[in-house]
Structure 1
Amino acid sequence: MADLRAAARAYREAEKGIESAKAAAEARIRAAREKAEACRTDLHAAMVDAARAGMAQKEIIEVTGYSRERVRSILRAGGIEPD
Structure 2
Amino acid sequence: MLGDKGYDSNPHCKELRKRRILPVISRKGAPNTKGLDKLRNVVEQTFALLHQFKRLAVRWERRTELHDACVSLACGLICWRPLKRHRS
TM-score scaled to structure 1, two decimals? 0.30
Q: Which has the larger radius of gyration?
A: 1
* Bigger strand fraction: 2
